[in-house]
């Protein structure tokens, strides 16, 4: 088995969560890498949908944005954005939403809007885009992000995308019928929500990571599920697939810059 980085382990662990039958709304960045690794390995028939309206896209490189021409060129079809959201997303036709986060709390609520006070922010972030609707309308939500105390916080500064609110039945009490966040994959561990409290708990620890490292890079009190296991290391096929698509992406972007 070749050596691998924590980022590679995170991407591959996230990719494994997708099944061949999923219809997945894909976020840009780490979610896009994970979804395309899944498509190129164990889930060749997974349907990847991007916010720009591309359905069944199969990019050879990772897109820079939802408007990347690679998505439209390789899609089975492209629909108008209103149709994407009204018919596909709000119509309940998408099984998984794959999102990233700038700030995340223990209940899977996401902030991608602002750090600090909204009127006088420390940092203005890109905003929600379609993520709030994805978080509410997809059958379930997977989140992937690198661990840091700045990113994983007890309370987020702004609710961009709703997870489980304050926990328990908060999501259902508000009339949201979808499952919400069911998985968090970081560069150190795989987390899943407790079935009752809905707070994320560590389900498996990545090879080479430790409980001390997980706790030092998390801003909330870490809870471990019963029977915590070690995440299975990447296979040669998974690593090769991820590294090949990253290499193709880097080469394409260098050509574009030139």
In this prediction, residue 180 carries a pLDDT of 97
Active site residue 201: no
Report the number of distinct structural domains present in the chain.
1
Report the candidate in 74, 81, 106, 70 with the shortest Cα–Cα distance to residue 194: 106
Query: Is residue 21 included in any domain, yes or no?
Result: yes
> pLDDT for 186-236, tens place per residue?
999 999 999 999 999 999 999 999 999 999 999 999 999 999 999 999 999
Q: Select from 10, 19, 59 the least CA-distant residue to 41.
A: 19
Share of the chain above pLDDT 90, in %: 89
**Contact residues for 109 (Cβ-Cβ < 8 A; gap 6+):** 156, 159, 161, 162, 163, 164, 165
Contact present, 133 and 78 (Cβ < 8 Å): no
Residues 6+ apart with CB under 8 A from 202: 189, 190, 191, 214, 222, 223, 224, 225, 228
Residue 163: inside a domain:
yes
Q: Has residue 106 been placed in a domain?
A: yes
Per-residue model confidence (pLDDT) at position 255: 78
Over the stretch 89-120, which tens digit does the pLDDT of each residue have? 999 999 999 999 999 999 999 999 999 999 99
Q: Is the pTM of this model over 0.85?
A: yes
Range list of β-strands (E), the chain: 23-26, 47-49, 54-55, 77-78, 96-99, 103-104, 110-111, 114-116, 121-124, 140-144, 181-185, 189-193, 200-205, 224-230
The burial class, CB within 10 Å (0-12 / 13-18 / 19+), for 148 is middle
Residue 126 lies inside a defined structural domain of this protein: yes
What CATH number did the domain enclosing 173 receive?
A: 3.40.1080.10
Q: Are 62 and 32 in contact (CB under 8 A)?
A: yes
Tell me, yes or no, whether 193 lies in a domain: yes
Counted residue by residue, the chain has a size of 258
1 occurs within a structural domain? no
From 51, 133, 201, 238, the catalytic residue:
51
DSSP assignment of 132-174 equals HHHHHHSSEEEEE----TTTB-SS-SS-SB-SSTTSTTHHHHT
- Domain carrying residue 91: 6-257
- The answer to whether the beta carbons of residues 236 and 3 sit under 8 Å apart is no
In a domain, 187, yes or no: yes
Q: What's the distance, CA 151 to chain centroid?
A: 14
Query: Do residues 205 and 211 lie in contact, with contact meaning Cβ atoms separated by under 8 Å?
Result: yes
Average pLDDT over residues 144-168: 97
Whether residue 67 is predicted with pLDDT greater than 90 in this model: the reply is no
From the list 86, 14, 23, 85, the residue with the least C-alpha distance to 49 is 23
- Could you report the per-residue pLDDT of 16-65, keeping only the tens digit for each? 999 999 999 998 888 999 999 999 999 999 999 999 999 999 999 999 88
Per-residue pLDDT tens digits for 121-140: 999 998 888 899 999 999 99
Confidence at residue 252, expressed as pLDDT on a 0 to 100 scale: 87
pLDDT tens for 229-244 read 999 999 999 999 999 9
Structure confidence at residue 253 (pLDDT) = 77
Closest CA to 181 of 94, 99, 112, 91: 99
For residue 33, give both structure tokens: 């890498």
pLDDT at 28: 86
Residue 72 lies in a domain: yes
pLDDT band at 1; cut points 50, 70, 90: low
Strand order in the sheet with 200-205: 77-78, 54-55, 47-49, 23-26, 96-99, 140-144, 181-185, 189-193, 200-205, 224-230
């Amino acid at each position: 088995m070749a050596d691998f980085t924590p980022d590679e382990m995170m991407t591959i662990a996230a990719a494994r969560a997708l099944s061949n039958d999923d219809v997945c709304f894909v976020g840009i960045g780490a979610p896009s890498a994970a979804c395309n690794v899944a498509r190129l390995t164990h889930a060749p028939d997974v349907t990847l949908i991007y916010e720009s309206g591309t359905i069944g896209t199969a990019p050879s490189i990772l897109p820079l944005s939802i408007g990347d021409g690679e998505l439209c060129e390789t899609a089975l079809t492209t629909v108008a954005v209103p149709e994407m959201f009204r018919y596909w997303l709000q119509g309940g036709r998408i099984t998984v939403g794959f999102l990233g986060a700038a700030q995340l709390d223990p209940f899977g609520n996401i902030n991608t809007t602002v750090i600090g006070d909204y009127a006088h922010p420390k940092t203005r972030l890109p905003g929600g885009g379609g993520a709030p609707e994805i978080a509410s309308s997809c059958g379930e939500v997977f989140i992937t992000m690198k661990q840091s105390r700045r990113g994983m916080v007890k309370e987020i500064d702004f609710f961009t995308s709703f997870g489980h609110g304050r926990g328990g039945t908060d999501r259902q009490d508000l009339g949201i019928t979808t499952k919400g966040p069911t998985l968090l994959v970081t560069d150190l561990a795989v987390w899943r929500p407790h079935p009752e409290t809905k707070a994320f708990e560590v389900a498996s620890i990545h090879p080479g990571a430790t409980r001390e490292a997980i706790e030092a890079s998390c801003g909330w009190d870490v809870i471990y599920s019963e029977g915590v296991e070690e995440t299975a290391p990447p296979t040669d096929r998974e690593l090769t697939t991820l590294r090949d698509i990253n290499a193709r992406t880097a080469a394409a972007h260098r050509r574009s810059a030139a």
